Structure 1
Amino acid sequence: MSREIDYGNLMHDAMRGLIRKVLLDVADRGLPGNHHFFITFDTSHPDAELADWLSDRYPGEMTVVMQHWYDNLKVTDEGFSVTLNFGDAPEPLYIPYDAIRTFVDPSVEFGLRFEQQEGEDADEDDTATVDAAEDNPPKTPVTEDKAKDAEIVSLDSFRK
């Protein structure tokens, strides 16, 4: 019986731990300087919690921005909850770490991308970016434009 080290899952766990530590720091001390986050997540993940109108509007994935206005940031071992402002409508969200597809801080050109598991559909038509910053209504997809200068770490380079 041979056993293999699952580097892919170990790397995902480490990357999610990094996100957790960053969010814990932000929950305790706020966003420092120009730091802000673009977080893309799977809105259909069974543990994700968001308003029906948001999941109807973004049935595949959605990118939220944590920058000027956010409230009630609570970080757990499994995910985080936060209230964001969607066009003057504050909405609570719960995002499990397993649902996160990308985490980008463009202020320092840092980004993480979680590769989808085989069998998951990547439907670009369901991808949207929502700028949840103060007084900004939802926008059309801009994820790639906003994050294009960030260094994205992809697990594909570590696979055989």
Structure 2
Amino acid sequence: MDRGIDYGNLMHQAMRGLIREVLERISTDGLPGAHHFFITLNTQHPDVQMAQWLTERYPDEITIVIQHWFENLNVDEDGFAITLNFGNQPEPLYVPFDAISTFVDPSVEFGLKFETHLDEDEAGEDDEAPMEHVEEHDEPPKAGEVVSLDQFRK
């Protein structure tokens, strides 16, 4: 059955491609100027890799900050690996792009917010899972322009 053009998912793919390109540039050239990122991700995503103590502390989502100290940033087609400092303890992470719910660069007031939705097999055409809100941050993100992709869905 022809369901038409799924603009919402196409926008999600394009925006995740934007994140991939930005992180690829950062992995090669470092962070320019005052740029830095707040990235909120679903810690329950099956392909997220992080220390058990972090998963226990942040059982649903975590906001990571890529700013002053990070290393081993490697980007692939599906996500990125990075080592970040959590309380003076370096921890490696792997974050699939599909696990990201928000991406914010407060230095230029840019942000993306991905609405979560159920797989087509699990939901009807108009059903959506509720968006989880960021509740716990080590550093709260500053306000910026957030692009909601819901306006592009039918």
Matches within 5 A, 1:2-151: 2-118=2-118, 120=129, 122=131, 124=133, 127-131=135-139, 142=140, 146-148=141-143, 150-151=144-145
Letter in 2 for 1:128: E
1:130, distance to aligned residue in structure 2 (A):
3.5
TM-score normalised by L of structure 1:
0.85
**Structure-1 separation of matches of 2:2 and 2:85:** 51
Letter in 2 for 1:147: K
> Alignment length, in residue pairs?
145
1:123, distance to aligned residue in structure 2 (A):
5.2
Could you say if the C-alpha distance between residues 159 and 123 of structure 1 is closer, same or farther in structure 2, counting changes exceeding 3 Å? closer
Q: CA contact under 8 A between 2:43 and 2:62: conserved in structure 1?
A: yes
Unaligned 5+ residue runs, structure 1? 132-141
Deviations 1:80-107 (A, max 9, x none): 0000000100000000000000000000
RMSD: 1.6
Residue 146 of structure 2 aligns to a residue whose secondary structure is: strand
Unaligned 5+ residue runs, structure 2? 119-127
Letter in 2 for 1:36: H
Structure that is richer in helix per residue: 1
1:153 aligned onto 2:150: no
Deviations 1:87-146 (A, max 9, x none): 10000000000000000000000000000114646555x842245xxxxxxxxxx3xxx2
Identity %: 59
Q: CA contact under 8 A between 1:114 and 1:155: conserved in structure 2?
A: yes
